[in-house]
């Protein structure tokens, strides 16, 4: 079973949870930008969250099912329809052979996800199916490509509530190894500044814009290149913060003023251009507690799915359903 991509957006890639363990070889983890969306899709289909999905940056495409397959749609809400009938987001659906799924532009956020029952069954590389375009591992999905399904039938007809993380907001951060290079006044200004997500953004990182002067550390030009990770906030020569994302480089010499905690990265990556973002420092102990609560919530997601109630107007074969399970008489009073 598979989906054929008849048309597709310019920045769609296959992603799973990434490939850890290769930093020493110059390869960052990659993986889905919004890991929460990856887990939501797995819960909707009743499968493991390490299954690969199609990550759609801003725009989806049109996909035809070669045979019956269950799918789910999560992440940034996008316009979606099956054979022209609107398809609910944050929900799982069944596609019969020949049916066409159309996924349009994002209404909010940036990254939407198309999940297939059994996951997308492409050949793994270094233990992951994730594309890592900056490292030239994998590629973007193109028109004419097949998205094969893995093992497993999955389930359809379910929905799940999803927290709003598509309009910006506050990102909680912890001190990095170089935070002490910034003055107390600079750190206070970081927390009090209203940033906007700039136009320069991809899976490597996203630039933030702001009013007023930029941010700089003491002795910034003398900093040695060190290991960096997704979530690190680098201060470039212009003084603009850059939040590093899944395909970031493995080392860098720009000073890092702070690090976004992992459970807040979905809010960062899903902030659309121009969205307002702020930073709030938390202690390491609080960050660990917040992350533990987030991971516990991920584990509870399968228990939060509920049946998707379809609008009768969207059911083309409504008359084939048995809507009344019994017959009663208005005149028979019984014994």
Domains and CATH numbers, the chain: 2-163+302-318 (no CATH), 169-282 (2.40.100.10)
For the chain, the C-alpha Rg in angstroms (whole number) is 23
At residue 334, the pLDDT reads: 47
Say which residue the tokens 């290769």 belong to: 22
C-alpha–C-alpha distance, residues 194 and 173, integer Å: 15
Q: What is the pTM of this model?
A: 0.89
Tens digits of residue pLDDT in 180-196: 889 999 999 999 999 99
Tens digits of residue pLDDT in 79-104: 999 999 999 999 999 999 999 999 99
* Positions of the chain with pLDDT under 50: 317-330, 334-335
Provide the mean pLDDT of the chain. Answer: 89
**Spatial contact of 77 and 167, defined as CB atoms under 8 Å apart:** no
Q: Give 222's DSSP letter.
A: G
């Amino acid at each position: 079973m598979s989906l054929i991509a008849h048309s597709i957006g310019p920045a769609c890639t296959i992603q799973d949870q990434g490939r850890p363990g290769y930093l020493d070889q110059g390869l960052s983890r990659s993986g889905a930008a919004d890991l929460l969306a990856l887990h939501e899709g797995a819960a909707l289909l009743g499968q493991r969250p390490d299954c690969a999905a199609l990550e759609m940056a801003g725009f989806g495409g049109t996909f035809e099912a070669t045979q019956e397959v269950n799918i789910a749609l999560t992440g940034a809400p996008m316009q979606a329809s099956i054979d022209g009938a609107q398809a609910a987001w944050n929900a799982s659906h069944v596609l019969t052979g020949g049916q066409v799924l159309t996924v349009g532009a994002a209404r909010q956020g940036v990254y939407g996800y198309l999940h297939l029952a059994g996951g997308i069954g492409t050949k793994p590389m270094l233990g992951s199916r994730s594309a890592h375009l900056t490292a030239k591992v994998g590629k973007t999905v193109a028109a004419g490509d097949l998205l094969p399904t893995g093992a497993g039938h999955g389930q359809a007809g379910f929905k799940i509530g999803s927290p709003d993380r598509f309009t910006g907001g506050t990102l909680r951060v912890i001190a990095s190894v170089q935070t002490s290079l910034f003055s107390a006044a600079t750190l206070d200004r970081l927390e009090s500044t209203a940033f906007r997500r700039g136009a320069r953004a991809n899976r490597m990182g996203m630039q933030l814009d702001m009013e007023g002067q930029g941010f700089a550390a003491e002795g910034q030009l003398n900093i040695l290149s060190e290991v960096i990770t997704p979530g690190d906030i680098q201060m470039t020569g212009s003084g603009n913060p850059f939040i590093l994302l899944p395909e970031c480089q493995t080392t860098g010499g720009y000073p890092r003023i702070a690090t976004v905690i992992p459970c807040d990265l979905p809010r960062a990556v899903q902030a659309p251009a121009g969205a307002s973002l702020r930073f709030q420092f938390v202690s390491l102990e609080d960050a660990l507690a917040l992350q533990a609560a987030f991971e516990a919530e991920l584990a509870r997601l399968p228990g939060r799915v509920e049946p998707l109630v379809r609008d009768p107007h969207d059911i083309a074969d409504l008359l084939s359903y048995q809507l009344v399970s019994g017959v009663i008489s208005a005149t028979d009073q019984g014994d």
